Structure 1
């Protein structure tokens, strides 16, 4: 292990990029491990520091850790500026004034690739709280370092800011410090891969129940003044270099001025042309009469989308579509767009949604929630998307959409692997029948089938399973009707089925189950039955006989009929014995 090349270590560490505990442990192995682990720890350092920000577990101990991390970050910025002879006064004069700011072990700023500006702002606010804590002020060297940092960043005598009262009562100081930190950051970071921001407000940025962090939600708190600087970063020197190679961009609108936000997106479109993933949260899911300012953001978003030459993934959240702008921008990127996701996107004009049919290169289409205000079937056929791999419609109020026949580019969807269709709020049998029939007619290579809806026709369900003999995972939920599936079990053959979950009143005889398992002989390792009214001892006996040496997980939840104690013990013993033998064989090998 000590002789592994750095490239190999980086590849291994990439699988643990979100595991800060493991990465910290790697720092202590040797210098090579330390050098490679530090790259991932500082790739998005403030996310690690504030991982508990939305929980009550964030305490004063975590504040100290966040404060120390931010102080390291600031000293690194200052040191880099000093050695480069940058804008912090004269190099010699500044070095003489800050002898306590020693060179960092690494150029940590150069490792940062992902940045959430609200995390950075919160980290600065936590640092401001930390450096004026009683424990910090009892340490003379720490106080001198704090004063030296202030001296460099705001070019004032350090003695002026040793008083907690002076600092807390003058919000312009924290604004000036934040501005200098942001400028240094834009000037020194080689490139950012991911930028996320929530401009314009702080009241809902983190729903924390931690008493430690509630101070930042108060009116006039430092955090409010810090976040005002977020949208100014694009105008700082060298920001065009830092942001030119963005791969991901995430935005969530809070009380931001529409004109300012629009201009930021337009300016970003001029700098960034290689973004591959955009996540945009309008933060306005309710339907209302559109105002003129409501169209400013969609217009700017259209410009940003169209300026990207390799956009592959787009996710839109909490939005009401009042215009064609967003869909027109996506249609102009139909050649590259592969993944499209809508969450709580509503629309009164169904034409805005029908444009999805023209995105012929989609590999993933996911639609969560949202209202279309119609009770007819969802009409987007799988034949609109010949290379579609994942299709998920979850809790959407179904809608009739007028689609252009010219958008039909295929007679089948052979690439589809995952189908998920859930109707939790609005049960419509017509919608379910239409979409399951499309699965049976156009898709033949499904691996995952999940449906929670009003299924009225077992024949359509049978057609879907017969047309996809390679199914590996099935999840069916039926909460309203009692459905008999004996005939389906007699004709369906699923020889690759590994996971089966059936919730609700599915009625079948033990003989039919035996016929299905005997003929299919699937590697069915997991079975979950919930709220079933027909399952009895004979059914369990069939499962144990047909799946002996295969079944490893078996859950029965809220069954109407109670199984005998002997059968339950027998099932437990068989599964435990099989797992023990398999574990023993693995250890011997």
Structure 2
């Protein structure tokens, strides 16, 4: 790669490193063309990069300085843009004397912002306030002059009246006014946002953090709580309708927010945005009677979107039809549906999922169903479904509802995941895996953590899906013999095999499977196995020589011989070394 590559090519290459801040920062030093294109990705979601360590104890004073400097650059860019555009801020008193101190930035950084999490921005503002009143900052005369200029331009007030950071922290109305001015300028200057995260008052996201620096923002009455109150008002600022008109993603967490305020925000957003493709909605609590108006407003937002492809609902009790009615009105566009910890007292509130016949991905994580009726969904309801996942759902009864079936065949299904960690029910496992053998033949990924009482159902599923590439099986309760399964199954494309639990098989059966299938099996993981011995490992090394690259054994009952373990390690390392050499030569 040379520095003379066209900008469009560089943008395409840099897109693969959009989340790699270290590489992007390194590109800044190559030349101006590389710098310009790297800046676009660094400032696409700048506050995420600045606060990348916010949920860990690794966030230190060094990172606070970086966050503070970035936020200061962001604020001076807002001020400079407003001044040169002749905005209202230029007409304020005492501004002209301070303008020269706010030097123009190298780039219009604000214009590059496309993804904005207002929680992250609020935390960055709070960190900036801590940074500009730190002892080290106060010892630098030029920094103090810049701070005074920013205060004079933004709020027409001198920062020198605050003799200490403690004194400044007590002025909550001031930080609220600063935040309001920043948000107004931001909405007026961002040409368009692709992704907006609205998580009002969501300090709970940082409670897992043990960083002493950030704990100050989590205290009751701290700045951060006052800052996030401004999140709900951004939709009413000038040009917010232009900034948000082409929103593609919207993420929301409702927490300690008035129902009427939340409801009105969602309704107002539905009138501005009609092209949202992905919505993530986190109730973060059981629905109270007063929250039904929020679900009604969410229904309105869903129905107003003409391009909605993905909807994710979290931490909610479904006791109304609002959400499913909204989703059913988007049946022609909706492709991905994800529920996380969604409970329901009646299956009727979620059975409408079966009507979303254009779904390509259906995932249900956790949650409890109050009804003891059979879970009404099966992949046979969705003829174009590619991913079907049920993870730790209770109760676990799975049955096909013939009235909701669009087809008795699911040729598009590629990924099947069925995990029940808390409550095992063998008849449910038999029903759903048995359906795989009848309705699906193009699976690539098969994963099951449940009580399997018969190998016959696995045999039917694997024989019906000869193109399987990845298999993960966990069975902690029963000791099952799979010799017949290995003898009968042919999986010529298998690349990854993980067996957790007591799966018993002989070395001869394993040899028979590997010789007849000849799979490109590069990764094998065995855990808690009670039958694997030296003959099994010898079969693997002989049949998969030049193919096997990863081999892990954990919590095994029987210990392998030292010679066999050394032989396995040497063969795998030699193969990887030869492959690396061949690649370098090419």
- Provide the rounded CA distance (Å) in 2 between the counterparts of 1:432 and 1:468: 18
4+ residue runs over 4 A deviation: 157-166, 203-206, 374-377, 399-406
Tell me, what secondary structure is at the counterpart of 1:317?
strand
Tell me, what secondary structure is at the counterpart of 1:120?
helix
- Cα deviation for residue 586 of structure 1 reads 2.6
Structure 1 157/545 Cα, relative in aligned 2: closer, same or farther at 3 Å? closer
Query: Retained in 2: the 8 A contact 1:244–1:273?
Result: yes
Query: Retained in 2: the 8 A contact 1:373–1:399?
Result: no
Tell me, what secondary structure is at the counterpart of 1:256?
coil
- Provide the rounded CA distance (Å) in 1 between the counterparts of 2:98 and 2:63: 31
Tell me, what secondary structure is at the counterpart of 2:409?
coil
Structure 1 585/263 Cα, relative in aligned 2: closer, same or farther at 3 Å? same
- Provide the rounded CA distance (Å) in 2 between the counterparts of 1:282 and 1:29: 46
Tell me, what secondary structure is at the counterpart of 1:203?
helix
Between 17-26 and 546-555, the greater mean CA deviation after superposition: 546-555
1:260-319 per-residue CA deviation (whole Å, 9 max, x = no partner) reads 11111111111110000001111015xxxxx42131211111011000000000100001
- Cα deviation for residue 378 of structure 1 reads 3.5
- Cα deviation for residue 563 of structure 1 reads 2.0
- Cα deviation for residue 467 of structure 1 reads 0.2
* Superposition TM-score, scaled by structure 2 size: 0.96
Tell me, what secondary structure is at the counterpart of 1:40?
helix
- Provide the rounded CA distance (Å) in 2 between the counterparts of 1:370 and 1:85: 54
1:181-232 per-residue CA deviation (whole Å, 9 max, x = no partner) reads 0000001110100000211453555532100111111222111111111100
Structure 1 456/135 Cα, relative in aligned 2: closer, same or farther at 3 Å? same
Structure 1 192/168 Cα, relative in aligned 2: closer, same or farther at 3 Å? same
Tell me, what secondary structure is at the counterpart of 1:228?
helix
Tell me, what secondary structure is at the counterpart of 1:99?
helix
- Provide the rounded CA distance (Å) in 2 between the counterparts of 1:193 and 1:264: 18
Query: Retained in 2: the 8 A contact 1:500–1:524?
Result: yes
Between 358-367 and 508-517, the greater mean CA deviation after superposition: 508-517
- Provide the rounded CA distance (Å) in 2 between the counterparts of 1:566 and 1:148: 73
1:191: which partner in 2?
Answer: 192
Between 268-277 and 366-375, the greater mean CA deviation after superposition: 366-375
Report matched runs for 1:464-483 at 5 Å. 464-483=461-480
Structure 1 339/109 Cα, relative in aligned 2: closer, same or farther at 3 Å? same
Query: Retained in 2: the 8 A contact 1:529–1:557?
Result: yes
- Cα deviation for residue 535 of structure 1 reads 1.4
1:404: which partner in 2?
Answer: 401
Structure 1 505/73 Cα, relative in aligned 2: closer, same or farther at 3 Å? same
Structure 1 461/190 Cα, relative in aligned 2: closer, same or farther at 3 Å? same
Query: Retained in 1: the 8 A contact 2:202–2:253?
Result: no
Query: Retained in 2: the 8 A contact 1:114–1:194?
Result: yes
1:102-148 per-residue CA deviation (whole Å, 9 max, x = no partner) reads 11111110000000001101111111111111111111111111111
- Provide the rounded CA distance (Å) in 2 between the counterparts of 1:231 and 1:401: 42
1:401-433 per-residue CA deviation (whole Å, 9 max, x = no partner) reads 898745321121101111111010010111111
- Provide the rounded CA distance (Å) in 2 between the counterparts of 1:27 and 1:468: 49
- Cα deviation for residue 160 of structure 1 reads 4.3
Query: Retained in 1: the 8 A contact 2:44–2:115?
Result: yes
Structure 1 532/360 Cα, relative in aligned 2: closer, same or farther at 3 Å? same
- Provide the rounded CA distance (Å) in 2 between the counterparts of 1:202 and 1:468: 47
- Cα deviation for residue 156 of structure 1 reads 3.2
* Superposition TM-score, scaled by structure 1 size: 0.96
Query: Retained in 2: the 8 A contact 1:147–1:158?
Result: yes
- Provide the rounded CA distance (Å) in 2 between the counterparts of 1:567 and 1:170: 70
Select the residue among 296, 299, 311 that pairs with 2:296: 299
Query: Retained in 1: the 8 A contact 2:358–2:385?
Result: yes
Query: Retained in 1: the 8 A contact 2:396–2:420?
Result: no
Structure 1 215/493 Cα, relative in aligned 2: closer, same or farther at 3 Å? same
Tell me, what secondary structure is at the counterpart of 1:250?
strand
Select the residue among 327, 331, 350 that pairs with 1:353: 350
Matching of residue 319 in structure 1 with residue 320 in structure 2: no
Between 145-154 and 160-169, the greater mean CA deviation after superposition: 160-169
Query: Retained in 1: the 8 A contact 2:95–2:152?
Result: no
1:369-428 per-residue CA deviation (whole Å, 9 max, x = no partner) reads 000135565342222111111111111113558987453211211011111110100101
1:228: which partner in 2?
Answer: 229
Structure 1 407/160 Cα, relative in aligned 2: closer, same or farther at 3 Å? same
Report matched runs for 1:359-378 at 5 Å. 359-374=356-371, 377-378=374-375
- Cα deviation for residue 93 of structure 1 reads 6.3
Between 199-208 and 487-496, the greater mean CA deviation after superposition: 199-208
Query: Retained in 2: the 8 A contact 1:375–1:397?
Result: no
1:523: which partner in 2?
Answer: 520
1:58-95 per-residue CA deviation (whole Å, 9 max, x = no partner) reads 11111111111111111111111111111114289633
- Cα deviation for residue 577 of structure 1 reads 2.5
- Cα deviation for residue 562 of structure 1 reads 2.1
Tell me, what secondary structure is at the counterpart of 2:110?
helix
Structure 1 399/580 Cα, relative in aligned 2: closer, same or farther at 3 Å? closer
1:288: which partner in 2?
Answer: none
Query: Retained in 2: the 8 A contact 1:478–1:505?
Result: yes
- Provide the rounded CA distance (Å) in 1 between the counterparts of 2:134 and 2:573: 56
Query: Retained in 1: the 8 A contact 2:530–2:558?
Result: yes
- Cα deviation for residue 476 of structure 1 reads 0.5
1:460-516 per-residue CA deviation (whole Å, 9 max, x = no partner) reads 110000000000111111100111111111111001111111111111111111111
2:332: which partner in 1?
Answer: 335
What are structure 2's unaligned runs of at least 5 residues? Answer: none
- Provide the rounded CA distance (Å) in 2 between the counterparts of 1:173 and 1:128: 11
- Cα deviation for residue 254 of structure 1 reads 1.1
Query: Retained in 1: the 8 A contact 2:55–2:206?
Result: no
Structure 1 535/167 Cα, relative in aligned 2: closer, same or farther at 3 Å? closer
- Cα deviation for residue 552 of structure 1 reads 1.6
- Cα deviation for residue 531 of structure 1 reads 1.0
Tell me, what secondary structure is at the counterpart of 1:151?
helix
- Cα deviation for residue 587 of structure 1 reads 3.0
Between 460-469 and 513-522, the greater mean CA deviation after superposition: 513-522
Between 575-584 and 336-345, the greater mean CA deviation after superposition: 575-584
